[in-house]
Structure 1
Amino acid sequence: MEKYELLPQQLLYEGTIGEENLFIPKALEERWLLNTHKPEYVSKLRNLALDKSEIRKTGFPLSQALIEREIHIMDGSVQACLYARKYGIAMNSAGGTHHAFTDRGEGFCLLNDIAISANYLLDNHLANRVLVIDLDVHQGNGTAEIFQDKEQVFTFSMHGAANYPLHKERSDLDVPLPDGMGDAEYLEVLDQHLEPVMDSFQPDFLIYQCGVDVLASDKLGRLGLSLAGCRSRDERVLTLAKRKGIPIMCCMGGGYSEKISLIIEAHANTYRLAQYLYF
């Protein structure tokens, strides 16, 4: 949780952003939670009624503060989508909760901000075709399950083949990667898929899960990217979005390097690129 406080502090300190660039999310209206998640599940969260097995799968001790935090994160991504439509790009410094399913939470994710945001855009006629680009080291299994039958959303997940989750869902495009893959090989695979997916699906909005657990230093990642390689990954996605004129919302996703400074530097690179490319 420490990175969520340190990241904006670092960005302000170095001048990448100013106070005027920050927004504080509210609690997202319940109807937008229910637009993605099953009512029974939302009710269990609200009433702290998850059983021990369900709590264990989320990875968090259940509390009212946790639920309220999660609901605020959902609004953060929705608001970031609205800002992205206005400015071309916007970020949620939390979010990326791609392991939450319609009816359960897993892997530090209780509600799925990616899915809630995509459904919000579609149902308010703010987008017609949403492409989810998920480059976290872990497969976006919850997002894949939620959108398995929705043609207006294309889910693209490029992730560690042998990493969590053990059971993978079926995204519209899954690209499993071997342990230890380094910068050159990773970027070559990304280049093979990223623009062809965009050209074939023709999205009018992008949601980018840009977890930095692809770093070689990550305790849970098992890939071999350097900070420079992770930055090049983000540069490819953001440059392509800018060139094609497609609004993009970035949510930060995972990052578990032992040194918190590496996590902050990797996330900050995404913001620096956005500032450089768009403003």
Structure 2
Amino acid sequence: MQFLTLIISNHTAIIHRIMKLSCPLTFSILSAYCRRRSGLLLHKSESVKQIHGGQKYTPASVVFHTSNPDKETPHISNAPDLPIVHHDGYESYLPPGHRFQMRKFNKLRDVLLHDGVISKKQMSSPVHVTKDELIRVHTEEYIEKFFEGKTSAKEQRVTGFTWSEGLVSRCRYETGGTILAAELALGRGLVCNTGGGTHHAFPEHGAGFCLLNDMAVAASLMVHRGKVDRVLIIDLDVHQGDGTALIFQEDPSVFTLSVHCGKNYPLKKQQSDLDVSVDRGTGDDDYMRIIQDHIPSVLTNFRPGLVFFDAGVDPHKDDALGYLELTDQGLFRRDYWVINEVIQRGIPCVTVIGGGYDKDIDRLAARHSIVHRAAKKVWQERRL
């Protein structure tokens, strides 16, 4: 057994990727043993559990965790339609001309309401994520620095944002929104957040307009609270989800799948469980073939109990930072296919909006609404 431990310690990354797919139960037991022997205990209070398939959508099984220092309580919609998670606090002030369109979150809500894609009665609102929830994946030192405004000027430049109390509040609401969406999805089957997808946030620092890694926090919490045994993160933002990949590299309970433009930010890529690098200029048909060649096998072999889908719109041909050539129709095909592929297997799904960069706020908000339109179509067709 000492020899086995040595081999695994030296080849952890390779074995993790093979065994996450080939035999999840064996991998969970073996990985847990090796982390104990080698000291690689990355997540507190993890346990090895029996493998399950897709979950039934049973609302009675959902228990909401709403404890927070601000004494807030979430608003939970009981409407029978597609659940939408949104909070006006997803936005905070940025100076005019900033590349990140902070106004897009409330503009997206307005577009969805104006076009009749959703109604106000479908909307649930989250509370601030707590420090205890965040340190599931972030270091306590980083969270304290971020909350208290003690990040350095250099650290702030890497994130693309100047620190403010409003920025902290915005990020906490957004991460709280993805947590709420995950809890709702376990009861309803499919939930769309109007924010989220901050996949460049690392355990000890932010980067690339991402300060708190909402999907990573929510995924870790769902496993830690015993809601699911395994989570799959499907990241189709045009940029690799490097922060998410690093966070879960040694975690058998979360599989990270990133399809991204290879010659794009970040220059230094991390190693996801599955990375699919796409060439610049890739259009609708080729892109669809790529994701259809990879996603079904991961769903089949990893057998997640919950899926997070980052539906970033920066692969769009008109995106300022994308370098791919997807059209509006291509984004809809992508989003509909991914959501339907997950839901038809009986697996709960959470969508987040991810990245998107356009000086025209109306065009950008309309682009971000595509995933909600696709989700509504799946919801109606599957009669969820």
TM-score above 0.5: yes
- 1:32-111 aligned within 5 A: 32-111=133-212
Please give the per-residue CA displacement for 1:182-233, whole angstroms capped at 9, x wherever unaligned: 1111111111001011111111100011100000000000001011011111
CA contact (8 A) 1:217 1:258 kept: no
The answer on 1:191 being equivalent to 2:292 is yes
> Is the Cα–Cα contact under 8 Å of residues 213 and 220 in structure 1 kept in the other structure?
yes
Write the deviation string for residues 84-136 of structure 1: whole angstroms up to 9, x where unpaired: 11111112111100000010000001110010000110011111110000000
* Structure-2 separation of matches of 1:70 and 1:268: 21
Q: Does residue 125 of the first structure (1) align with residue 226 of the second (2)?
A: yes
- Post-superposition shift, 1:258? 3.7
Counterpart residue identity of residue 306, structure 2: F
Secondary structure at the residue paired with 1:244?
coil
Distance 1:69 1:259 in 2: 22
Distance 2:161 2:181 in 1: 25
Q: Does 1:272 align with 2:380?
A: no
Q: Which of the two has higher C-alpha Rg?
A: 2
Deviations 1:111-164 (A, max 9, x none): 100100001100111111100000000000000010010011000000010100
Could you tell me how far 1:19 is from its partner in structure 2? 0.8
Compute the displacement of 1:35 (Å). 1.2
Code of the residue aligned with 1:157 in structure 2: it is S
**Contact 2:137–2:217 under 8 Å retained in 1:** yes
Q: Hey, what does 1:19 align to over in structure 2?
A: 120
SS in 1 for 2:344: helix
Q: Which runs of 4+ in 1 moved over 3 A?
A: none
Mapped contact 1:231–1:266 kept (Cα < 8 A): no
| CA–CA distance in structure 2, aligned partners of residues 83 and 197 of structure 1 | 24
Instruction: Give the structure 1 partner of residue 59 of structure 2.
Output: none
Please tell me whether the aligned partners of residues 107 and 362 of structure 2 are also in contact (alpha carbons under 8 angstroms).
no
**Hey, what's the Cα distance between the residues in 1 that align with 2:224 and 2:203?**
17
Amino acid of the structure 1 residue aligned with 2:103: E
CA distance in 2, matches of 1:117, 1:46: 19
- 1:252 maps to which of 345, 348, 353: 353
Do 1:213 and 1:257's aligned partners in 2 also have CA atoms closer than 8 Å? Answer: no
Match of 2:340 in 1: 239
Q: Name 1:214's counterpart in structure 2.
A: 315
Other-structure match for 1:144 = 245
Q: Secondary structure at the match of 1:62?
A: coil
- Provide the rounded CA distance (Å) in 2 between the counterparts of 1:261 and 1:175: 31
Alignment match of 1:31 (pick from 132, 154, 171): 132
Deviation at 1:33, TM superposition (A): 0.7
TM-score, length-normalised on structure 2?
0.71
Shift of 1:263: 2.0
Cα RMSD (Å) of the superposition?
1.0
Contact 2:181 2:350 in 1 (8 A): yes
| Uncovered stretches (5+) of structure 1, i.e. residues with no partner | none
Residue 114 of structure 2 aligns with an amino acid whose one-letter code is Y
Distance in 2 between the 1:270 and 1:255 partners?
13
Q: How many residues align?
A: 279
SS in structure 2 at match of 1:175: strand
User: Cα offset for 1:66?
Assistant: 0.4
Structure 1 SS opposite 2:355: coil
Give the drift of 1:52: 1.3
